[in-house]
Structure 1
Amino acid sequence: AWPLLCHFLATVLLQHLKQHLPSIVAEITQLAVGTERRLAELGPPMPADDAGKTALIQTIVASFCRDFVGALVEKRADIKTGRRIKDSFLTLQTQLRAVSPFDAENYSNTYLLEAARDCEGNHLSMPIPPIELLEHMLQHPERRPIRLLLQPCLACLHTVYEELRAMSCKLLKKASMSRFPTLQARIRDESDGLLLRARGACEMKLQELVDMEEAYISTDDAVFLRELADAVKKLVNGVDATLLRSILSSYFATVVRTISNAAPKAVMLFMVKATQEQVYACLFERVGRQTPAGLLEEPAEMEAKRRADEEVLGKLRAARGTLETLA
């Protein structure tokens, strides 16, 4: 009776196991996939020879560069650098439009009329060509109102620089990178240097944009030219401070539109695109092709974690194989 009971219970247990076998195998498979993913993030074991170490360093550098470029050119939910850069450009354009140097507080009616008299010098008083007034006001060595547009541009550049630096720091936190703190720090230093050099070059270009507008007072803006033509007719009857302020503000608006259009493009070309195009060459030259000495020092806990995951993965695969034979 006892053997029959044991056989009966074993049969019931086996049938019950087979009934739930698919879900058990699926759960084990899911655990195995998660363990494999963790092992992939940890990276392969440390190579023994220098050639293998150099190859591993170059693989890690290439992965970082690929992620860096991808984060800028691809639409990714986890990294919003591209969107934030675009937002910084919109903020810049709003700030530039808000610059209003020719208000009554900074340029009083008295000052405008005195400036018009300064243009006459010691000559006979007569109607002054508006363009001479524009040049005198806009290129005044102490006032330099067009220079007010430079600071918002530099602030925008700083924001973009910080966004790129934050993106770089986030990419450096990947497990495959953080397993080697010395290599991680080296890549961080070199990428920071690349960003700083690009920022310096871009600052010069933004400076040039403002300098160009300040150096040559000229425009083909149709709205401004119509207003200027009307002003010429009115100035025949005498200099009017309100009219001068209107002409100055109107011309300044054309400069704002020019800078608003050109500055974001300069930041994209000389800051964003420059780092995007130079990151591979920079990091391979300064890190990937250097001797691997000291760069691949892995913390002891990383190797222990890798061995533990490999052991767990082996057991999961063995269990899945055994259960699949019962199906």
Structure 2
Amino acid sequence: MDKLVPIVNKLQNVLSSFISSETLSLPHIAVVGAQSVGKTSLLESLVGLSFMPKGEDIVTRTPIIIQLTNSKSDDCYCTLTYCDYDNNRVEKHIDDFSILNEILIDVTEEITGGNKCIKETPIIIEIHKNDVLDLTLIDLPGLTKVPVGNQPQNVEEQIVNLVNKYIKNPNCIILAVSSANIDLANSDSLKMARNVDPKHERTIGVITKCDMVEKPEIWKKMISGSLYPLKKGFVAVVCRSQKDVEDNITIEMSIKKEEEYFSQCIDFSNQMECIMECGIKNLAKKLNNILIEHIKNTVPFLKPKIDSLKSIEEERLLELGEPMDNMNRSEYLAVLVNYITKFSQQYQDIIDGKVFYKDRVDELKGGARIHYIFNDWYIKSLNDFSPLEMLTDEEIRIAIRNSSGPRGALFVPESAFETLIKKLINCLKEPSLRCADQVYEELLKIVDNCRIADMERFTNLKSAINEQVKILLKDCLQPTKEMIKNLMLIELSYINTSHPDFLNEHFMKNVYDKDNDYIDELDTVVHPKNNHKMLQRPKREFQETCGSNMNYSTIHHNNTYKEEMKMWKPKEDMKSYRNKEGTKITNINNNRENVFVLPVIPEKIIPEYSSSSKEIIEIDLIKSLINNYFNIVRKHIADAVPKAIMHFMVNTSRKTMQKVLISNLHNGELFNLFNECSSIKVKRNNCKKNLESLNQAIKMLAEIRNQEV
């Protein structure tokens, strides 16, 4: 059991180079206190050496991990380990403790870069002496309120964050240092400890400067726990003051002086419990016992964490791979073919849904996104498209008239139907081409998501493969779009009115029912004067003297009515008329009646009057024909476009990728493709060191278990 703390100290030294306190925390004791409570003197008394930097400014600006190891020999020495400003590990062996103070000051300046800010990089001091108990103490910067001198304005925040980082860990024993001449209610250290340890289970209180109060009853009441109870209790100490240092009083003399003070203040007849809670020696024993017990309770949980860290490092080393220096061309070519094969296979696996994603399991990935584009995006958009919303009754009526020529038609002209349906079929072209673009973009994402573990280190190779694959996909996109355009041209080239699903029995029945409903509606209209049923013809303008002449209106290029055509009515004199250009046209014979002037022909002509009953039936029939035939085309396009995209782009890229990559990359400078950046080499070396440290840590944990046995 005596070797538990030294083994844990070695464990901490082994793991401190790359493991943060949040990832893996070993049992330790953190010393917390304000700047003026005598924290430095307390640590020196526990160590038995005067080695800590002192001063009015913030001297401790980094965590100082003090590892005390009881040595059987009379030789005293220490080892100082830290990471410099550039994160390089430095280790110094010191035999002369008199220079340790100066070295600590220099190392602190080196870590912080010469400024007064607070750094999280720890300094580890491993001290071997024959008059100390095995302990591990972490000295944290003293709590302060107001920045002085050239200290940063947020120095208080920096210190609080650093202290919290250590004491919030459940494996940390908090040594809260308070001064006897300050009320415990105002203790900064107890306040911070309470925030992370509200049940007071891992906090030890230390009352310093007991000789500075008028009555010993003040500090006696404090350590009794009546004012502020702690499960691990309080310890009262008297350390060297600044005057003692100036008077050259050594730490040994100070400890004797402390023993004399407590022997005078405590009545041994009825205050034996109180004497056990006083003095540096009792504090050291208490801390040693608590730390050993804490180690015994904590170590069983360290093994799984270290095993997990080892697995992570092994996986990371596998990703970094082995160095590929001094290889010949055939060896490089073999490795290239191997990587291309793995990349091509992973590309196919992602499309086929054979790759498991550890992150973001709440969203579609890979080939599932392509399926979504086809069925939930493209086809759904086609089905939501209503063809008749693209046409107005007026456009249909004009198409029918334009197809009839100067004579009109007894039946609905087929050319009008073809003109209108081709316009609507063309509406399917852009969404179909956009669908191909969206699948192309998804394939690019799949390429970016392809990760070959040990290929990531070769940035040139990865860039070359990605570039060639993107060129391949671009080459596949062009014929895919050509095929989609051809599908549209095929539909436009031949309007198959003989299609079995076009004029089927169900469609003809619907048309017949609509016509009968319209006739029945007209039959129900009664003339108001004659009081007999008649077919009410749709509203239209005609002149009694001119037969059934129709009104027209002129539409200019801005699509607004410019002028209504004017007609001369019976019993009216038409004195003058202004034509389209504004020129006044005078009646040839003002004395003649029933004569009118024909206006200038407008540039664009559309019928102004309402549709006749015949035209209404024709429009309704055209709508039904358009809707029925468009559904046939839509169904075919919705089925053919995804198939074209899969064949010409998705499947073609899958089948030809490996061949294209080998063909385009094997003739280049293979050495450049496999050139590692310097950071990869550094990461590989660090990873190997980390694995070595973790293996050592596992052996040390086995030693601890043997100690317990």
Q: Structure 1 length normalisation: TM-score?
A: 0.80
Q: Which amino acid aligns with 2:654?
A: Q
Q: How many residues align?
A: 311
Residue 112 of structure 1 and its aligned partner are, at CA, apart by 2.8
Equivalent residue in structure 2 for 1:310, among 668, 688, 706: 688
Q: Which amino acid aligns with 2:331?
A: G
The answer to whether structure 1 residue 117 and structure 2 residue 404 are counterparts is yes
Q: Which amino acid aligns with 2:418?
A: E
Contact 1:198 1:271 in 2 (8 A): yes
Contact 2:403 2:413 in 1 (8 A): no
Q: Which deviates more from structure 2 when the two are superposed, residues 72-81 or residues 36-45?
A: 72-81
CA distance 1:251–1:102, change in 2 (3 Å): farther
Equivalent residue in structure 1 for 2:417, among 130, 134, 144: 134
The answer to whether structure 1 residue 31 and structure 2 residue 314 are counterparts is no
CA distance 1:19–1:84, change in 2 (3 Å): same
Equivalence map 1:154-193=2 (5 Å): 154-171=433-450, 176-193=454-471
The answer to whether structure 1 residue 292 and structure 2 residue 572 are counterparts is no
The answer to whether structure 1 residue 86 and structure 2 residue 332 are counterparts is no
Residue 281 of structure 1 and its aligned partner are, at CA, apart by 1.7
Residue 34 of structure 1 and its aligned partner are, at CA, apart by 0.8
Equivalence map 1:248-327=2 (5 Å): 248-288=626-666, 290-321=668-699, 323-324=701-702
The answer to whether structure 1 residue 220 and structure 2 residue 500 are counterparts is yes
Contact 1:96 1:256 in 2 (8 A): yes
d(CA) in 2 for partners of 1:26 and 1:272?
A: 45
Residue 229 of structure 1 and its aligned partner are, at CA, apart by 7.5
Match of 2:228 in 1: none
Contact 2:502 2:632 in 1 (8 A): no
d(CA) in 2 for partners of 1:150 and 1:101?
A: 17
Q: Which runs of 5+ in 2 are unaligned?
A: 1-71, 73-133, 135-288, 516-612
Match of 2:475 in 1: 197
Residue 27 of structure 1 and its aligned partner are, at CA, apart by 2.7
Q: Helix, strand or coil for the counterpart of 2:387?
A: coil
d(CA) in 1 for partners of 2:449 and 2:693?
A: 34
d(CA) in 2 for partners of 1:102 and 1:19?
A: 77
Q: Which structure would you say has the larger Rg? A: 2
Q: Which amino acid aligns with 1:56?
A: V
Q: Which amino acid aligns with 2:619?
A: A
Residue 165 of structure 1 and its aligned partner are, at CA, apart by 0.4
Residue 55 of structure 1 and its aligned partner are, at CA, apart by 2.8
CA distance 1:224–1:248, change in 2 (3 Å): farther
Q: Which amino acid aligns with 2:698?
A: R
Match of 2:382 in 1: 96
Which protein is richer in strand relative to its size? 2
Residue 58 of structure 1 and its aligned partner are, at CA, apart by 2.6
Equivalent residue in structure 1 for 2:623, among 233, 245, 248: 245
Residue 62 of structure 1 and its aligned partner are, at CA, apart by 2.3
Q: Which amino acid aligns with 1:198?
A: C
CA distance 1:111–1:222, change in 2 (3 Å): closer
CA distance 1:302–1:217, change in 2 (3 Å): same
- Provide, for residues 43-68 of structure 1, a one-character-per-residue CA deviation record: whole Å limited to 9, x for no partner: 22124212333333233222222221
Q: Helix, strand or coil for the counterpart of 1:294?
A: helix
CA distance 1:311–1:244, change in 2 (3 Å): same
Contact 2:393 2:619 in 1 (8 A): no
Residue 115 of structure 1 and its aligned partner are, at CA, apart by 3.7
Q: Which runs of 5+ in 1 are unaligned?
A: 4-8
d(CA) in 2 for partners of 1:271 and 1:224?
A: 37
- Provide, for residues 141-164 of structure 1, a one-character-per-residue CA deviation record: whole Å limited to 9, x for no partner: xxx431211100111111111111
The answer to whether structure 1 residue 151 and structure 2 residue 430 are counterparts is yes
- Provide, for residues 168-196 of structure 1, a one-character-per-residue CA deviation record: whole Å limited to 9, x for no partner: 12325x66334222212111110101111
CA distance 1:216–1:226, change in 2 (3 Å): farther
CA distance 1:129–1:112, change in 2 (3 Å): closer
Contact 2:426 2:488 in 1 (8 A): yes
Residue 220 of structure 1 and its aligned partner are, at CA, apart by 2.3
d(CA) in 1 for partners of 2:484 and 2:678?
A: 48
Q: Helix, strand or coil for the counterpart of 2:500?
A: coil
Equivalent residue in structure 2 for 1:61, among 325, 329, 340: 340
Residue 265 of structure 1 and its aligned partner are, at CA, apart by 2.0
Q: Which amino acid aligns with 2:467?
A: D
Which protein is richer in helix relative to its size? 1
Q: Which amino acid aligns with 1:204?
A: E
d(CA) in 2 for partners of 1:228 and 1:251?
A: 13
Q: Which amino acid aligns with 2:476?
A: A
Residue 319 of structure 1 and its aligned partner are, at CA, apart by 3.6
Equivalence map 1:13-28=2 (5 Å): 23-28=301-306
CA distance 1:62–1:47, change in 2 (3 Å): farther
Q: Helix, strand or coil for the counterpart of 1:49?
A: coil
Q: Which amino acid aligns with 2:426?
A: R
Q: Percent identity?
A: 23
Contact 1:67 1:171 in 2 (8 A): yes
Q: Which deviates more from structure 2 when the two are superposed, residues 16-25 or residues 29-38?
A: 16-25
- Provide, for residues 88-119 of structure 1, a one-character-per-residue CA deviation record: whole Å limited to 9, x for no partner: 1221113223152664449624323214414x
CA distance 1:232–1:215, change in 2 (3 Å): farther
CA distance 1:285–1:224, change in 2 (3 Å): farther
Contact 1:112 1:241 in 2 (8 A): no
- Provide, for residues 234-265 of structure 1, a one-character-per-residue CA deviation record: whole Å limited to 9, x for no partner: 7xx96612221221122112111111122122
